[in-house]
Amino acid sequence: MSDSQPTTTWDYTVDVLVVGSGGGAMTAALCAHDRGASTLLIEKDEYYGGSTAMSGGALWIPNNHLMKDAGVEDTPEESLEYMRRITRGDVPEDRLRAYVRYGAEMVEWLCERSRLELQALPEYADYYPEVPGGKPGARTIEPVNFDARLLGDTFYRMREPALQTLIMKRVAMTAKQGHVLLCRSPGWGRLTFRLMAGYWMDIGGRLKSKRDRNLALGNALIGMLRLSLMERDVPLWLKTRARELILEQGRVIGVAAVRDGETVRIRAEKGVVLGAGGFESNDEMRKQYLPNPTRAEWTCGSPCNTGDPIRMGLEAGAALELMDDAWWGPTTVVPGEDRARMLVVEKSLPGCVFVNALGERFVDEAAPYIDIVNAMYRSHKPEAPCVPAFMVFDAVYRRKYPCGPFLQSSQQPDWMLPKELKQGYLMKADTLAGLAEQLGVDPAGLEATVRKMNEYARTGKDLDFHKGDSLYDRYYGDANVKPNPCLAPIETPPFYGLEIEAGDLGTKGGLKTDAHARVLNEAGKVIPGLYAIGNCSASVMGRTYPGAGSTIGPSMTFGYIAALDAVPA
């Protein structure tokens, strides 16, 4: 933080400066521009899009305008009741109300005024649909496919999607398409052919890069927002790292940044919006704030998310909240890949179990991924280590379902797996005791757990953790498996195992903000001219996860709100 003097010279002056280039940052810039403000985005990476580009691209927006056509009714009252109940008083009422009101408004505004095109997912339930106010689907919305050729060569400056979102590490698919392929629903064969044919028939794209130009998920969302910015001539500076906030008489009036090795001072007449992610890729901050053990290599978030905006906010006197929390999820660290993969689908499929070092279960494997890691840390004790945990399955599961970096063995047999996956990553044995020895798990405990799981599979009732009882659990289950789509026996050798880490999509804590996205100091007072959105701000979702898209939805909503506040009509 620096205190500006009257003699300060500025290298660049705009009305609104946005730090970051993810979905929330781009939304803030678009809204500020359309309200008549000159706007600039700066991004420290050489690629734009941040964690949003790497994500599933979904937004959780209650009472959105697409729900009715999807056959799901919603109201602000139901939405608020659901959010109140699951956040359990951790979030001020005015922030919850702002999210419900402006989330739906933001989505409709972008769909009308920008290139953004979204579709509701009527079968993708809220994560806790049985809670009063919960819905069986359609609050989660996702971008439709987007043609990257509209971006020209700017496309190749977009951060690439996470490998786990692609078919064979190359071909993009939407969440809706992925569900059809996973469950082998009617038409899955034609869909596979269409996606693969489209990829290989894009001759111009294949001559330039292996990247699919038929964008989906987070890449599609960022592509649509980036094109909207380009059409408005809103500048986005890459390789420009915000270093400190500049204040004058307690008000944030600009940022000192490093661009091309030189310090540039950017004045922001109406406000600075911090939207540059959390601190998931900063090992030092993880060890300081998050539960331990923890490691940066366990995250799925952007490698550039190292806590810079949080540090700058602290230097300006900002308060922090939720710094011990994250958008948790079980991850697997695959040899040779630079980001961990989250096990979103695999854990819900029938015929697998998660165990601790004693070979004991500790959670409903099909539960929302945030609940899995919370259970790992809650159960972690010196006498019963649970971080890491272990995923165990048999030959039937291996033959039928993809898992982590490999396809099902019916398409990618064990002999076809790369050497680095067979040596020290995917453990395999003819007996459960042999597998337990390789994993470092108690053999007797694992055998007892599997016996119990096999009985639950036969009856269809998990008496310990109720796997498959929730509508959300069953979304990623196998509808062809009866009586419970999330339970099947683990009895056919060989047996397989993976180490599971306490990973995340990003951190959840950060700068404390109010219902207008304004940053607050320790006394609860607004720091004038400073806004924070996304994962560098404390989440409006508190310590929970209402549904798929609960990271990007709030980021874009409060980006919209920040612009409304900074540039009043």
Q: How many C-beta atoms surround the C-beta of residue 17 within 10 A?
A: 30
Question: CB neighbours of 162 closer than 8 A, spacing ≥ 6?
Answer: 54, 55, 218, 300, 339, 341
pLDDT at 2 over 90: no
* DSSP secondary structure, 356-406, as one string: -TTS---S-TTS-HHHHHHHHHHH-BTTB--SSEEEEE-HHHHHH--BTTB
**How many CB atoms lie under 10 A from the CB of residue 459?**
11
- Produce one character per residue of 390-413: b if its CB has 16 or more CB atoms within 10 Å, e if not: bbbbbbbbbebbbbbbbeebeeee
* Residue 32, in any domain of the structure: no
What CATH number did the domain enclosing 318 receive?
3.50.50.60
Residue whose tokens read 């062809």: 480
90 found inside a domain:
yes
Question: In the predicted model, what is the mean pLDDT of residues 429-449?
Answer: 98
Where residue 1 falls among pLDDT bands split at 50, 70, 90?
Answer: low
Please tell me the predicted confidence (pLDDT) of residue 569: 85
Question: Are residues 56 and 95 both part of a single domain?
Answer: yes
Residue that is last in its domain, among 472, 503, 534:
503
| CB within 8 Å of 161: residues ≥ 6 apart | 53, 54, 172, 216, 217, 218, 219
Give the mean pLDDT of 100-117.
98
pLDDT (0 to 100) of residue 389: 98
How would residue 175 be classed by pLDDT, with cut points 50, 70 and 90?
confident
Task: Tell me the mean pLDDT in the region 133-155.
Answer: 97
Which residues are within 8 A (CB) of 498 and not within 5 positions of it... i.e. 6 or more apart? 332, 390, 391, 403, 404, 425, 426, 427
Which pLDDT value is given to residue 240?
98
Q: Report yes or no: 50 and 536 within 8 Å, Cβ to Cβ.
A: no
| Domain boundary, last residue among 185, 209, 231 | 231
User: What number is the average pLDDT over the span 487-497?
Assistant: 98
Contact 511, 57 (CB under 8 A): no
Same domain? For 492 and 513 the reply is no
In a domain, 239, yes or no: no
Asked if 133 and 80 touch (Cβ cutoff 8 Å), the reply is yes
Mean pLDDT of 431-451: 98
pLDDT of residue 62 exceeding 90: yes
Please tell me the predicted confidence (pLDDT) of residue 4: 58
Kindly state whether residues 415 and 340 are assigned to the same domain. Answer: yes
Which of 169, 199, 231 is the last residue in one of the domains?
A: 231
Global model pTM greater than 0.85: yes
Closest CA to 11 of 201, 383, 267, 232: 267
Q: What is the mean pLDDT of residues 127-152?
A: 97
Query: Rounded CA gap, 132 and 398, in Å?
Result: 38
pLDDT digits (tens, 9 = 90+) for 410-420: 999 999 999 99
Is the pLDDT at 5 greater than 60? The verdict is: no
Beta carbons of 305 and 506 less than 8 angstroms apart: yes
Residue bearing tokens 């009101």 = 101
Residues 365 and 457 placed together within one structural domain of the fold: yes
Tell me, yes or no, whether 272 and 341 share the same domain: no
User: Quick one: how far is CA 296 from the chain centroid?
Assistant: 15
Confidence check: pLDDT of 183 > 80: no
Instruction: Measure Cα distances from 190 to 197, 317, 401, 432 in Å.
Output: 10, 57, 19, 39
> Given this model, what pLDDT does residue 186 score?
86
Q: Domain of 203?
A: 46-231
- Measured between alpha carbons, how far is 294 from 290 in angstroms, rounded to an integer? 7
**The pairing of beta strand 236-237 with beta strand 39-42:** parallel
Residue 168: pLDDT band with limits 50, 70, 90: confident
Cα-to-chain-centroid distance, residue 75: 26
Instruction: Examine residue 237 and state whether it is found in any structural domain, yes or no.
Output: no
- Do 200 and 303 belong together in one domain? no
Provide the β-strand partners of residue 406.
Answer: 403
| Beta strands per DSSP E along 156-261 | 166-167, 171-172, 214-215, 236-237, 240-248, 251-259
CB 405 within 8 A of CB 511: no
Confidence of residue 117 (pLDDT cuts 50, 70, 90): very high
If asked whether residues 427 and 473 sit together in one domain, one would say: yes
Q: What is the pLDDT of residue 270?
A: 98
User: 356 pLDDT exceeds 80?
Assistant: yes
Arithmetic mean of pLDDT, 39-61? 97
Domain identity same for 146 and 187? yes
pLDDT of 111 higher than 60: yes
Q: List, in sequence order, every residue forming a beta bridge with 158; answer none if it has no partner.
A: 48
Residues 257 and 177 in one domain: no
Q: Is residue 489 included in any domain, yes or no?
A: yes
pLDDT-wise least confident of 181-195, 203-217, 273-287, 544-558: 181-195
Average pLDDT rounded to a whole number, residues 156-175: 92
Read off the CATH number of the domain in which 489 is found: 3.90.700.10
- Whether 81 shows a pLDDT value over 90: the answer reads yes
Task: Write the pLDDT tens digit of every residue in 260-284.
Answer: 999 999 999 999 999 999 999 999 9
Domain shared by 368 and 494, yes or no: yes
Residue owning tokens 């320790």: 522
**Which residues lie closer than 8 Å to 506 by C-beta, 6 or more apart?**
51, 277, 278, 280, 299, 300, 301, 302, 305, 326, 327, 535, 551
> How many residues can be counted in the chain?
569
Is residue 31 in some structural domain?
no
Q: DSSP for 468-483, please give it.
A: T-SHHHHHTS-TTSSS
Cβ–Cβ under 8 Å, residues 340 and 369: no
Half-sphere exposure of 112 toward its Cβ, with a 13 Å CA cutoff? Answer: 10
Same domain, 84 and 218: yes
3-state secondary structure of 444: helix
Please report whether residue 36 resides in a domain.
no
- DSSP class of residue 46? S
Assess whether 263 and 339 both reside in one domain.
no
Residue 195 in any domain: the answer is yes
pLDDT tops 80 at residue 7: no
**What's the total number of domains in the chain?**
3
Whether residue 6 is predicted with pLDDT greater than 70 in this model: the reply is no
Q: What percent of the chain shows pLDDT beyond 90?
A: 93
How confident is residue 293, by pLDDT bands cut at 50, 70 and 90?
very high
